[in-house]
Structure 1
Amino acid sequence: MKKSRSFVLLLMNVLPSHQLCLIGAAMLLFLSACNRPLVPFAAENGVDSIWADSAYQRAKKAEFYYNNNLKDSLFKQVAEDMAFDKEHQQWNWYYYSWMLLVNKCTFSGDVKRALEESNLMHSDATERNNAYGLALAKYAMALVYACQENYEEATIGFEEALRRYPKDCDPSVLFVIYYYYSSTLEEKHDMKSNEEVLTLWKATLDKTFQESDKYDDTKALWLYQYYKALFGFHFSQQDLAQATDDLDSMQYYVEHSGNTVFGVAYVTSSRSKLALASKDYATAIAYNNKEYAESKKLGPTIYMKAVERRAEILEAMGMYREALKLRNEFDRLKDSLNQADSQHELNEMAKRYELDELRTQQEKEKDALKQRQMNFIKAFAAILFFIMLVVSIIRHRSRLRLAQEHQKLTDAYKQLTIANEKAEESSKMKTMFIKQMSHEIRTPLNILSGFTQVLTSTDVELDEETRAEVNERITKNTARITELVNKMLELSDANSTSVIEKNDTITVEQIIISAVESVGMSSYKMIDFRTEIAPEANNKTLLTNYDQSVRALSLILANARKFLQKPTGEANGQSIGKIRLKAGLQADNLIAFAVEDSGIGVPPSEAEHIFEEFVQLDSYYEGMGIGLTVARSIARRLGGDITLDTTFTGGARFIMTLPLS
């Protein structure tokens, strides 16, 4: 794995040498883990897996910037990634990207921002109750404390991070936390706690990688890191035998993880270190020679460590002059690396400035091109919209015309249907009227014919009483025929729209008295009949036609009387009901004559039908069905009207209105 010189140099400048051992080695571990493919997090509930894949690809891009110490690009990428992850609810990747930003601030020496970001991350994860986010926040915060040599707080943070780390998340970051935790305890010289952490780490490794073979290469990498930490633990305890076993295990797993150059170099360096501690100087020099040769391929930083190791061996052997030369070489290399890194940073800044200028110009050209394209698209869209609008208007108007024509045809068909129905009904009613008229006229004619034959017969002699009765019957039936003829004439006149002349000034009481006498209501002893005139209407006069107004009211009274009587007549001398004639003042300067009866009543649905010609709701009652038609025609031609009060119960109530003078 390639490691940036500027990044390592930055650590050397901002951290003490012993702290550099802790953080530098651990950072190398973290970068190694980042360069290996991560197992993507499982798609969160209800979220399409395509967003999880996209978030994973974005995180890999951020890792590239992180590994190559491209800080500005990293911060920009992380901001974009976090916005994307938040929009699509990829919270695990959201906190992973945030962790990269915090760690970069930590290793860049920006401790203030690192603490601020880690605290914000912790608050955000707490609000969302996200265990992975809380674990990474605690880990990032602990790392800041470790860099500041605040090992007590760092230990608490690492322990909390391990406790909160979800079991179903990628284990790479979990193993990094174990490494930092172990390294921090080693710096703290808390060997007991470090031993416990190493034990837990090994148990977690075994549990993680025992279920699937696809993690074999990854398992080798992390076991190498584990034994590297275990080697440091035993070496610091001066348990050189156990440290030797750890080193053998390290080499075994380096070989099975691909013999990475850094892994091989670290094993060689550790064998030289172990031989030096065992005072086996020949072996130490032999491994250092190999380390010395390999380190030149890995860059000045690793080479400097090899030079420093050789100086330590020579000093242990008492070869102080040669050791001093190597110490001077180490300082020269360090200064040279500082200068090279500074120049590299300046070159990078210049290149970035030129690149930014070029990108700015390209962006301007792209924006101008996009603007032209957008203007063309807008113009084309406007033309297309106008054409569609015109076509839509034409089609809409065509549909309206078709709808209107269809509606006209429908209305004409409905009117024709109604007219046919009315014609059929009129034909039926006229037929019934003719039959009724035939019956109404034939009955009194038969009576007149019979009595005429009796009176003209020479063989028949009548006493005075019988003769008087015959005369009465003849007179009554003659009047009946006359009444029928008058009704026919009235019906003919009822269809006229001419206004009746109103030359008579008459009181309300006079109209009522005349109508009652015309109907002969006093002769119907079995009917409870009364008239009532409201005080406000008692002295009112009407400018109307006396005969016609009386006739209209008489027809209503006659209708009430007819439907109050039983079809069989006034049997058994019992009361057959009541009729009330009431007069009162109505709004709009009208007099209302209300005729109420306790008869069979009229259904509300027939309120208008009964005023049509020849309509009879009950065929058991005598009549031709023209009385109400004539009465309404008269009232309307006098300026009033006749209606049925559908709210009245217990019979029927007809209201005739006439205007005052």
Structure 2
Amino acid sequence: MRNLLKYLLLHIVCFGGFFSLSAGENAPHEDKYNIQDEIIYSFHTSMGFDYLTKEESDMIPTDSILDYLEASKQYKTYFELERVIIKSFLFRGEIRFAIAQSEQMYSKASVWSDHLGMALALNAMGEVYSYTGRIKEAGDTYAQALELFDRLHGEDIHIRMLLVELVEYNLRIRNYAQAARFMTRLNRYPAERLSVQEQAVRHIFNAYCQLLNGSIKIARQHLDEVEPLREELVPGILQHLLIADALYWEKKGEYEKALEAYDTFFHTDYAKINSSLYKETMMNKANLLVKMGRKEEAYVQYGAVFSYIKSSFEKNYPKEIDQLTIHFQADQLTYQNEQDRLFSYRFYLGGIIICTLALFLFLYFSWKKIFRLKESKRSQECMIQKAERAIKKKNMFLSNMSHEVRTPLNAIVGFSAVLSSDDDSFDEDSRKEFCEIIKVNSFQLLKLINDILDFSDFENDNITFNIRPYDAVKLCKEVVETVSASRKLEVELRFDTELSDLVMDTDDARLRQVLINLLVNATKFTKEGSIVLKLEMSDRNTAFFSVTDTGCGIPLEKQELIFERFEKLNDFAQGSGLGLSICKLIVTYMKGRLWVDSNYTQGARFCFTHPLKFQSKMEDTAL
């Protein structure tokens, strides 16, 4: 820690030998207080980035000081010093010592029932998990530590340090929303209450968050605030400043400056003090070299990253970490069992009346459990039926896909082979016809893939709509022209409407997709007669679309089923069975309704409504 070596040397000169502290009895208590207070103070004011170097650790008899603090029951100082020691082990890459020390710290806090000690121990364990790649355990332990700190009073410094760790942890796992939430809480502390180091850390991590949020200008403002403080910053904070500066230039697109900032970081004496950060920065530089097109240098850099990981974290300490996790869970279970035992004793001492009440409660809960078991069994049966239906539909889908994909592919491959052959027996007209067949089958295959992707997007709630005002009359005319031009029709295809124009809020691409799908379906099953797309007003706020054909029609029992995924009216007709299902999802999203007109018997008629004004889900909720 900065100035700590000078402080220690001064004590050696003044007291004629510092290491008498290890004896534990002859050394003045004031020296112990001063040493540990100096260590803890430096750690706090630097937000945990100023740590004990190897040289300082060798000079300071921390074991002797901890024994003295434990004997004198100065538990608060004991746990705060333990916290510094564990963080120092982690920064220096001495992971095994950090694991052992954090396990010891947690055990003693549990035995002494010290809430601050428990919170600090959980904080330290969260860091150990984070450094060793146990992301889930780190998140759970950090959350428990913050919950405990929030219950305590006068521990703002520990909360601020933990918030910084939480921001860094969430940025590392790319949970930017959580990082922003913790950063917002950290920003609430007034600047006058913070040390110079704390202010610098807050500005740097604000810059990180803004850069990842795309706010480059605001990030630059935060970094400029840190520049005047540069000379006062400890190496651990300077590390983050250099990396944030490199990320800024990279986000701005000035890769040479970013590379120069990374190189400046790697040439510092303190580049490797945080092994985890050093590894991440090596990877960032390699990725930057790839962006710059300097692939050979990038490969060399990736090799350096691999070598560093292999040499520093080859074993990854799984055994020690698992022991720490098991010990933590065992303590939690012991505590819970103790609470349950006390709860039982209180009931026992309550007397006969409470026992009688407990009996009634037992009977009530038993009856309720039986009822729940029946409900659970019924739910399981429903789930089994759904699973069977899902498997059936999956098998049907795979069967359909194997046919639907193979058919156009066979045509494409076959006619491509003919065209690429040296056979001169085919004239120019034949070759044009072959090209047209390849084109038609390519479009068929593309539509099939697009249907599958669209349905997948709807299933995963990943679909996007571009809502804007659009003339529905114009769109319908364009759709009819598109279908007429793209297909050789043997029937009349026309658009009927009494409206000159009709402006509505819609996604014209999605509405076009619905109409084309309905018209193309009609062409498949209509061999003579006509296909009519009609647009009219259902009421003053709703448009009414219909596609009417004179084809074979749809049996009444299948009129609802055809909107289900993978359902087809004719198993031998081309198509994935997803088109109508996708149409219904689009219309439903636009707050409309799609159905088959069961009263029309001359063929098939598909109808759907579309509101003129679109309301989002948030607007619906507000209403």
Common fold: TM-score over 0.5: no
**Larger Rg computed on CA atoms:** 1
Q: TM-score, normalised by structure 1?
A: 0.35
